[in-house]
A = this chain, B = another copy of it.
Amino acid sequence: MNTLEEVNDFVHNGHQEYLPHISIDPVIFGYHQQQLKILLLKWKGLEGWGLPGGFIKRREPLSQAANRILQEKTSLSNLYLQQFHVFGDSPYRIRERSAREYKEKFNLDVDDDNWLLQRTLSIGYFALVDYSKVTVQTDFFTEDYQWWDVKEVPPLLFDQNEVVEKALLTLRRQIYHQPIGYNLLPEKFTLPEIHTLYETILGKELDQRNFAKKLIALGLIQKLNETRAIGAHRSPFLYQFEKENYEQALQVGIVHTY
């Protein structure tokens, strides 16, 4: 969506192609330099940053819509994607926005009953992606994008800070039942990497030895005969996930602590 023609068509006729009143807002998690990050877009004409959301096509299955929206923004397919909550309580999402406000911000002429101005619920999804493989597409509405450390998320549009909070919370709870990491880390990774990842998600320190013991005891990771030289005094061993056990743990679910 880059030409003015396309944008005008979307704004004025989009409701024929998309379902009104419902959007999908993905929280995209990536991991880089020992930090858990999320991908945010800067919307043109608006102050804040926001999630890379989108709408559902009228005959498109919901999960397919979520995948499509993610792919449009990040050029990634086959990522880990999971629905976690519907947001429909915030006053921002109830009071319809005015056409005037829209005109001022986007410089687009819209009627008062335009579909984009009406109340819209948001279905929250979170995605776990390999940071290094993401390439972001910007379009007419977005002027910039940036990865933000989850500890330093800026004020977001509407109630989207709440969306991010809840995504983190869900991730944190889920890690007690299912392994996480396959989608966030490169194929080969070091113990310190996955160790810090888990600490970051859980927001607490985990004993180095016990953590490694646990993952190996569960059969989730295996040591490779390679090391990676990453600077002074540092050449940790590489590990990779044991796909079979990992998949099984994902599906069956487990209950344990770290």
Contact = CB atoms under 8 A, between A and B. Distances in A.
Interface string A42-72: 0000000000000010111111110000000
Contacts of A19: 21, 119, 121
Contacts of A85: 83
Interface stretch (A86-94, A101-109, A147-155): A86-94
A18 B100 CA distance: 25
Contact of A63 (B56, B63, B89): B89
Nearest to A123: B86
Contact of A176 (B56, B64, B88, B255): B255
A22 B121 contact: yes
Contact of A62 (B62, B65, B89, B256): B89
A56 B88 contact: yes
Given A58-B119, A59-B94, A255 B253 contact: no
A171 to B, nearest CB: 14
Contacts of A253: 173
Interface string A111-126: 0000000010101000
A30 interface: no
A64 B89 CA distance: 8
Given A21-B22, A22-B121, A86-B83, A94 B176 contact: no
Given A19-B21, A173-B253, A255-B257, A88 B62 contact: yes
6 contacts: A59-B119, A61-B94, A63-B89, A65-B88, A83-B86, A255-B255
